Amino acid sequence: MTIPVGTVGGVDPLAQFRLDGKVAVVTGASAGLGARFARVLDAAGARVVLVARRRARLEALAEQLSDPRVVACDLSRREELDRPVAEALSTYGRIDVLVNNAGLSDPGPALEEPPERFAEVLDVNLTAPFVLAQHAARDMLARGEGGSIVNVASMLGIVGLGRIPQAGYAASKGGLVNLTRELAAQWSRQGVRVNALAPGWFESEMTSDLFEGDAGRAFIRRGAPMGRPGQAHELDGALLFLAGEASSYVTGQVIAVDGGWTAV
C-alpha cells in the first residue's frame, strides 16, 4: 500500500483542521471575535450561519464569505432562541458546529448591580448557549453523525478579577464552563463533543474601555506572564482545533488562550 505524501499513518494532519461540507452557526457574529470566528470557519471550508442583532453588520460580513446565511435575532428574547438552528436546518439541512460566542458584560460594583441586570447577563451568556446547544444537539444526535459545540467562555470563568468588577459576567462564564463539562458528559458517548474556549484580554467592543488608555494596557502587561494582550489571530488555531476532527478525542475541556493569565 502506498501512503500519500503528507500523511502520517495514512492520516493527513492538516486535513483534520478543514471543515469542508460542514455547517457552522456562530452567535455574536456582527463584530469582534465573533466576526473573526465566522471568517476563520468560512476559510476552513464551512458554510456559516451568522447570528446577531445587527442585521446591517451581518450582511456586510456575509458579503465577504462564500455561502453564508444571516439570522438577525436577539438572544436575550427566549422566543427567538430557536431561530438560529432552525434556519440553519431549513437552509442547509444540517448543523455540524455551534459556536456560542454572543455575550454581555456588566462592569460595576456587585453591591450596586440591580438583580435585573444580573439576570439579563445570565440570560444571554448562559441560558441562550444552553438552549442553542439543546437545539443543535437534537439535530446532531438525530442524524447520528455527531458534531462539535464550542462555548466561548472567558478566563473570568476560571479566576476572579476584582480590579474590573462584573459579577454577572463572571458568574455566567463560570456557569458556562461547567455547563460545557456537563453537556459533554451527557452527549459525548453519542458523538456530540462539547468544549470551551476561555480567551484572555483581546481587543473588542466589550473591552474597548480597557484598551483605550495606557493604564489598561499596563494592567494587562503586568498580569499576563506573556506581558501583552492577545492578537485576534491567536484564537484561530484553538477554534479550528475544537470545531473539527483534530479534536475528535477531546470533550468537556476548557482551553484558556490568555497569555498565561490563569496560570499564576
Single out the catalytic residue among 17, 169, 201, 241: 169
- CATH number for the domain harbouring residue 55: 3.40.50.720
In a domain, 11, yes or no: no
Lowest mean pLDDT among 200-214, 217-231, 238-252: 200-214
> pLDDT tens-digit profile of 23-79?
999 999 999 999 999 999 999 999 999 999 999 999 999 999 999 999 999 999 999
Range of the domain at 138: 16-204+233-254
Q: Total domain count for the chain?
A: 1
pLDDT confidence tier of residue 213, bands split at 50, 70 and 90: confident
Averaged confidence pLDDT in the chain: 95
Please state, in angstroms and rounded to a whole number, the distance separating the CA atoms of residues 212 and 74: 28
> pLDDT tens-digit profile of 130-145?
999 999 999 999 999 9
DSSP of 157-178: GTS---SS--HHHHHHHHHHHH
Whether residue 94 is predicted with pLDDT greater than 50 in this model: the reply is yes
Q: Provide the pLDDT for residue 8.
A: 85
Please state, in angstroms and rounded to a whole number, the distance separating the CA atoms of residues 246 and 60: 31
Please state, in angstroms and rounded to a whole number, the distance separating the CA atoms of residues 242 and 90: 25
Count Cβ atoms within 10 A of the Cβ of residue 225 and give its class: 0-12 exposed, 13-18 middle, 19 or more buried: exposed
Q: In degrees rounded to 5, what are phi and psi of residue 187?
A: -110, -15
CB 87 within 8 A of CB 71: yes
Q: How many residues does the chain have?
A: 264
Active site residue 169: yes
Whether residue 253 is predicted with pLDDT greater than 90 in this model: the reply is yes
**Predicted TM-score (pTM) of this structure:** 0.95
CB 44 within 8 A of CB 116: no
In a domain, 222, yes or no: no
In a domain, 177, yes or no: yes
In a domain, 209, yes or no: no
In a domain, 72, yes or no: yes
In a domain, 58, yes or no: yes
> Of all helices (H) and strands (E), which one includes residue 148?
strand 147-152
Q: What percent of the chain has pLDDT over 70?
A: 98
Mean pLDDT within 175-196: 98
In a domain, 52, yes or no: yes
In a domain, 65, yes or no: yes
Please state, in angstroms and rounded to a whole number, the distance separating the CA atoms of residues 133 and 137: 6
Whether residue 1 is predicted with pLDDT greater than 60 in this model: the reply is no
